[in-house]
Chain A
Amino acid sequence: MKGVVYTETLIHSAPEAFVGEAPYQLIIVSLEDGTRVTARVEGDLRVAIDDRVVLAEHRNGVPFFRKD
């Protein structure tokens, strides 16, 4: 699954269950089929709007993308 970063943010202040993971990047990806999906970014590499990304894996039902 491939797409383009529609928007992103780096979260510093996390909800209780995610405090150990902060900071982490949350993104919305525009997929090739025209739909969008809320996702996370794999690893420490940051992405920006309009970057091309590809699905790396699903973790607990959450899609994780990396730079394509």
Chain B
Amino acid sequence: MRPVAIIGAGKTPFGAFPDRDIRSLAVESSRKALQNAGLTPDAVEAFYLGNFAGPSFVGQSHLAPFIAGPMGITGVPCTRVEAACASSGSAFFHAFSAVAAGLYDVVLVTGVEKMTSQQTPRVAEILAMAGECCTEGKAGATFPALFAMIARRHMHQYGTTREHLAAVAVKNHANGALNPDAHMRKNVTMQQVMAGKPIADPLTVYDCSLVSDGAASVVIAPLERAREWTDKPVRVLGIAQTSDYVALDRKPDITVLQAVKTAAKKAYAMAGVGPEDIQLAEVHDCFTIAEVLAVEDLGFVAKGEGGPYSADGHTSLTGSRPVNTSGGLKSKGHPVGATGVAQLCDIVQQIRGEAGERQVARHELGLAQNLGGSGASAVVTILGAA
């Protein structure tokens, strides 16, 4: 297996863009990533697209060649990967595997979602398809409801409080307010979060990530050739994708994201590092409780301690291990199919020292954790300066 590096990264801003279609978003981020690597589209040997629900959101299937063709990328494998909110993390995992195996040298990976053309109840219905349709879906479950049930159980077992969850939203909004590409660039207070419009108790609207449009792309290549295209290659030190039951009621303990634990263990072993070595992380805070679970299941703290850990400032920009310096899904936005690659772009930006006001002091080793559904898919990627 060959070492692999990210040689280019690019994103669109995240937000609600009524005048943009899914293709224009994906083409914009793809072109930015290629330009960042000093490449033109004809250099691309394979294209992987992460997208969750293009057919439902915008009525278009066959999305990979639909996006690649007008960019001038034809005659190569163009593949869409779907793993709910982990779609582009998974697309990246498969692209990495192909480059590491020696199949291709230059591969473009893009994640995209166009969500805001649908009304909220329809968005909830489309997102609910990532759950177990014959039980959860038929009973009227939504994704906020599934994570609300996880939150209730976490509170019951470990004494996690409403304030602990709110602290995650406050911190991520503070980071997002400094991110020019974030969807919701505003600070919120603990009081605002807790008194927010109820969505699924105990979660309010401020515990939930945003419904966004956006795209993100990276270009990868063998590490040994990376400096042909960039002075700042970022090495993929470890990566793993794992799975679990889709249905929440099949899991022995819903306060554990077992797929994340397993993926993290594999990625740490591959990188030859442990959780204590990770200097910054982008985690999948689709809901505030999901960030609490992530910091536990990635091994940053013991199970049950994620609430106090998040509330005590350890994960803030100036904390011992900053988490979601981009603002996370909460404030940066969550165009679901784009999120996995966007997290990688955010870590690349920090490792390269290009994060501006959000730049953290220690930025040689970063981790991205991308989650699908209520935990049935997980991708953990460890990146380091090459």
* B152 in contact with A8 (CB, 8 Å): yes
**Bound: A49/B144 CA distance, A:** 18
Question: With contacts A10-B201, A38-B247 known, is A15 near B128, CB below 8 A?
Answer: yes
Q: How far is the CB of A65 from chain B (nearest CB, A)?
A: 11
* Contact residues of A between 1 and 47, Cβ < 8 Å to B: 6-19, 21, 24, 26-28, 36-40
Number of interface residues, chain B, beta carbon within 8 A: 35
**Bound: A6/B145 CA distance, A:** 14
Q: How far is the CB of A2 from chain B (nearest CB, A)?
A: 16
Question: With contacts A7-B150, A26-B149, A28-B149 known, is A13 near B141, CB below 8 A?
Answer: no
* B249 in contact with A38 (CB, 8 Å): yes
A39 neighbours in B (Cβ, 8 Å): 139
Nearest A residue (CB) for B134: A61
Question: With contacts A12-B199, A14-B124, A17-B125 known, is A7 near B153, CB below 8 A?
Answer: yes
**Bound: A9/B144 CA distance, A:** 9
Q: How far is the CB of A59 from chain B (nearest CB, A)?
A: 10
A21 neighbours in B (Cβ, 8 Å): 140
* B199 in contact with A7 (CB, 8 Å): no
B72 at the interface (CB under 8 A from A): no
B16 neighbours in A (Cβ, 8 Å): none
Main secondary structure of the interface of B (DSSP, over half): helix
Contact of B122 among A16, A18, A28 (CB under 8 A): A16
B128 neighbours in A (Cβ, 8 Å): 15
**Bound: A10/B141 CA distance, A:** 10
* Contact residues of B between 106 and 138, Cβ < 8 Å to A: 120-122, 124-125, 128, 132, 134-136, 138
* A38 in contact with B135 (CB, 8 Å): yes
* B145 in contact with A9 (CB, 8 Å): yes
Contact of B140 among A7, A26, A28 (CB under 8 A): A26
Q: Which of B139, B248, B249 has the most CB of A within 10 A?
A: B139
* A14 in contact with B249 (CB, 8 Å): no
B121 neighbours in A (Cβ, 8 Å): 14-16, 19
Question: With contacts A7-B153, A9-B145, A15-B124 known, is A38 near B140, CB below 8 A?
Answer: no
Residues 301-320 of B, flagged 1 when their CB comes within 8 A of A and 0 if not, give 00000000000000000000
A16 neighbours in B (Cβ, 8 Å): 121-122, 124-125
**Bound: A19/B248 CA distance, A:** 23
* A8 in contact with B199 (CB, 8 Å): no
A38 neighbours in B (Cβ, 8 Å): 132, 135-136, 139, 141, 247-249
Q: How far is the CB of B196 from chain A (nearest CB, A)?
A: 11
Q: How far is the CB of A64 from chain B (nearest CB, A)?
A: 9
Question: With contacts A9-B201, A14-B121, A26-B149 known, is A40 near B249, CB below 8 A?
Answer: no
**Bound: A8/B201 CA distance, A:** 9
**Bound: A21/B142 CA distance, A:** 13
Residues 335-352 of B, flagged 1 when their CB comes within 8 A of A and 0 if not, give 000000000000000000
10 residue pairs of the A-B complex, CB under 8 angstroms, read: A9-B202, A11-B142, A11-B145, A12-B198, A13-B142, A15-B124, A15-B128, A26-B140, A28-B248, A38-B135
Q: Which B residues are closer than 8 A to A by beta carbons?
A: 120-122, 124-125, 128, 132, 134-136, 138-142, 144-145, 148-150, 152-153, 156, 197-203, 247-250, 254
Given contacts A40-B139, A61-B134, 7 further A-B contacts (CB under 8 A): A6-B153, A10-B201, A13-B144, A24-B140, A28-B249, A49-B152, A61-B138
